[in-house]
Amino acid sequence: MFILVINCGSSSAKYDLFDVDGKSSDLCRGIVERIGEDSATLTHEIMGEEKVHRKVSCRDHHQAIEIIRDALIDEKKSVLRDTSEVKGVGHRVVHGGEEFSESTLINENVLKSIEKFSELAPLHNPPSLEGIKSCMKIFQGVPQAAVFDTAFHHSMSKHVFCYGIPYEYYEKYGIRRYGFHGTSHRYVANKTAEILKKPIEKLKTITVHLGNGCSIAAVSGAKSIDTSMGFTPLEGLLMGTRSGDIDPAVVTFLMQRERVTDEQVNDILNKKSGLLGVSGVSNDMRDILGAIKKGNTRAKLAYDIFVYRIKKYIGAYAAVLGRVDAVVFTAGIGENLPRIKDDLQKELRPLLGENTRFLIVKTNEELLIAKDTYELVSRLID
Ligand code: AMP
- Beta carbon of 284 within 6 Å of any ligand 1 atom: yes
Got the DSSP string for 306-374? HHHHHHHHHHHHHHHHSS-SEEEEEHHHHHH-HHHHHHHHHHHHHHH-TT-EEEE----HHHHHHHHHH
Kindly state whether residues 213 and 322 are assigned to the same domain: yes
- Give me the average pLDDT of each 10-residue run along the chain (382 residues): 94 95 82 95 92 95 96 80 93 96 97 93 92 96 97 98 98 97 98 97 98 97 97 96 97 97 95 97 97 98 98 98 98 97 97 96 96 94 77
> What's the domain range around 345?
197-360
Q: For atom 18 of ligand 1, which residue has the closest CA? A: 336
- Beta carbon of 334 within 6 Å of any ligand 1 atom: no
pLDDT tens for each residue of 341-368:
999 999 999 999 999 999 999 999 999 9
Q: For atom 19 of ligand 1, which residue has the closest CA? A: 336
- Give a yes or no: residue 129 inside a domain: yes
Our CA dihedral for 168, 174, 177, 183, rounded to 10 degrees, sits at 160
CA of 240 to the centre of ligand 1 (A): 10
Q: Do the strands 13-19 and 2-8 form a parallel or antiparallel pair, or are they unpaired?
A: antiparallel
Closest CA to 372 of 103, 26, 91, 1: 103
What gap in Å lies between CA 158 and CA 60, rounded to an integer? 39
- Beta carbon of 337 within 6 Å of any ligand 1 atom: yes
CA of 283 to the centre of ligand 1 (A): 10
Rg (CA), the chain: 21
Say what the pLDDT of residue 347 is: 97
Q: For atom 9 of ligand 1, which residue has the closest CA? A: 284
* Domains held by the chain: number: 2
- Beta carbon of 331 within 6 Å of any ligand 1 atom: yes
Kindly state whether residues 214 and 346 are assigned to the same domain: yes
**pTM score, two decimals?**
0.95
Kindly state whether residues 112 and 202 are assigned to the same domain: no
Q: Which residues are catalytic?
A: 149
In the chain the beta strands, taken as DSSP E runs, fall at 2-8, 13-19, 25-33, 41-46, 52-55, 86-93, 104-105, 144-148, 204-210, 214-220, 223-227, 326-330, 357-360
Note whether 204 and 324 are within 8 A (CB). Answer: yes
Ligand 1 atom showing the smallest separation from residue 286 Cα: 12
- Give a yes or no: residue 163 inside a domain: no
Kindly state whether residues 217 and 140 are assigned to the same domain: no
Kindly state whether residues 121 and 226 are assigned to the same domain: no
- Beta carbon of 179 within 6 Å of any ligand 1 atom: no
- The type of residue at 353 is G
